[in-house]
Structure 1
Amino acid sequence: MKVTIAYIEEPPFGWTEASGIATGADIDLADAVLRTIGVTRIEHRPTSFSELLPGVESGRWDMNVPLFVTRERANRVAFSIPVWGIADGFLVRTGNPKALDSYVSLAKRADARLGIIAGQVQHDTARASGVSEHQIAVFEHQADAIEAVLCGAIDAYASTALGNRIVANRIGGSKLEAVEHESGMKGKQQKPPPGAFSFNRRNSELIQAVDKALRSYLGSPDHRARMAGFGLTHNEIDPALAG
């Protein structure tokens, strides 16, 4: 049995090593679960974020690495049960020159520009928080958005708080820093949005098998140990287990 899973270059969730091998937290989780259900051949297909949904819809591959679950996306693809819950954050130049700690804070500064990957949920979240379209620069790949922050073309790149921490650590604190968003909830803890694998809606057999395996595996000692190797902790895992 062979399954092809598409991924994007977005550490710590997925990336391609110099050797050409795909790795990352989402890749590792997918491989562990697929082997559990009897998959003997796993093919990893690199793609762009904007091609994830069209690709699985048209049958170019069998499943996608986890992405945030939204109603619009659920009308196009079938999602597994959630596998993580992760809040947004900004990647900014060290020192955070414009003191950006939320979409609202960025919206209040007409001179602030925000980078977002095409098709990602951060675009809608930013607009809903008052960020205007002329403040937003859309990129196809994460690497291009990061370079834009480094060279000053944009002031912040919006992605997951976890992913931004990993990127900042890899590049070095002298250039970039990750900023977690202020919740604005006055002490109330807001549950982070869930992410899940996605499939062609007609592939019910694979969906059901993956969900069954995930229910047994998520939160297990082996799962937590594997994810810890990529920087995911109970902060990202437990929200998915809460249902």
Structure 2
Amino acid sequence: MKVVLAYIEEPPFGWTNPDQSATGADIELADSVLRAIGVTHVEHRLTTFAELLPGVQSGRWDMNVPLFVTSERIAKVEFSIPVWAIGDGFLVRSSNPKALYSYESIAQRPDARLGVIAGQVQHGSAQAKGVRDVQILLFEQQAQAVAAVESGEIVAYASTALGNRIVAEHIGLTRVESVDHESTLGDGKSAPVGAFSFRKENRALVDAVNRQLRVHLGSAEHRKSMARFGLSEREIDPVLR
């Protein structure tokens, strides 16, 4: 049995090694679960974020790496049970010279420009908090947005707090810095959850993946595997049932 898994370049969740093999937290989780349900070959298909949902809907591949679950996306694809919960954050220049800690702090600076990946939930989150369209620059790839932060084209790049921490550590903290959003601290809200997605008609694969996820998530093997990519109980425990 073969499954084609689509992924994007977004460390620590997924990226392409120099030898063209795919790795990352989401890819390793998918591989582990798929092997456990009897899949003999997993093909990793690199794509863009904008193509993830259309690609799986049309059958170009069988399964997407996890992305945030929203009502709009639920109408298009079938999601697995959640596999992580992660809040938003900014990637900014080192020392955070503009003191940016939330979308509201961007909205209060009319001259500030915020970078987001087209189609990701951070775009809508920024708009909901008052960031105007003229302040938002859209990018197709994470690397483009990171370069825009370093060049000063944008003051911040909005993505997951975890992803930004990994990027900052990789690039070097003397150049860029990761800032977790303060807006959800202490307000009782839980972080948004992410899950694998499938074509709605692919019910058999969804059910098989869910059965194995319920066994695997939170296990010692799962925690050890995810820790290699920076995911801890902070991201794992909120989705355990």
- Amino acid across the alignment from 1:222: E
Shift of 1:190: 2.1
Partner of 1:57: 57
- Residues 109-148 of structure 1: pairs in structure 2 closer than 5 A: 109-148=109-148
- Amino acid across the alignment from 2:200: R
Shift of 1:184: 5.4
Shift of 1:160: 0.2
Q: Distance in 1 between matches of 2:77 and 2:155?
A: 34
Q: Would you say the 8 A contact 1:98–1:112 is kept in 2?
A: no
Q: Distance in 2 between matches of 1:226 and 1:134?
A: 41
Shift of 1:95: 1.4
Shift of 1:189: 3.6
Superposition TM-score, scaled by structure 1 size = 0.98
Q: SS of 1:6's equivalent? A: strand
Q: Distance in 1 between matches of 2:71 and 2:180?
A: 25
- Amino acid across the alignment from 2:108: K
RMSD between aligned alpha carbons? 0.8
- Amino acid across the alignment from 2:232: T
| Identity of matched residues, % | 64
Q: Distance in 2 between matches of 1:89 and 1:121?
A: 12
Partner of 2:72: 72
Partner of 1:222: 221
TM-aligned CA distance change 1:184 to 1:197, over 3 Å: closer
Q: Distance in 2 between matches of 1:235 and 1:183?
A: 17
- Amino acid across the alignment from 1:177: E
Superposition TM-score, scaled by structure 2 size = 0.99
Q: Which runs of 5+ in 1 are unaligned?
A: none
**How many residues align structurally?**
241
Shift of 1:30: 0.1
Partner of 1:87: 87
- Amino acid across the alignment from 1:221: A
Does residue 5 in structure 1 map to residue 19 in structure 2?
no
Q: Which runs of 5+ in 2 are unaligned?
A: none
- Amino acid across the alignment from 1:134: V
Deviations 1:10-48 (A, max 9, x none): 000000000101000000000000000000000000000
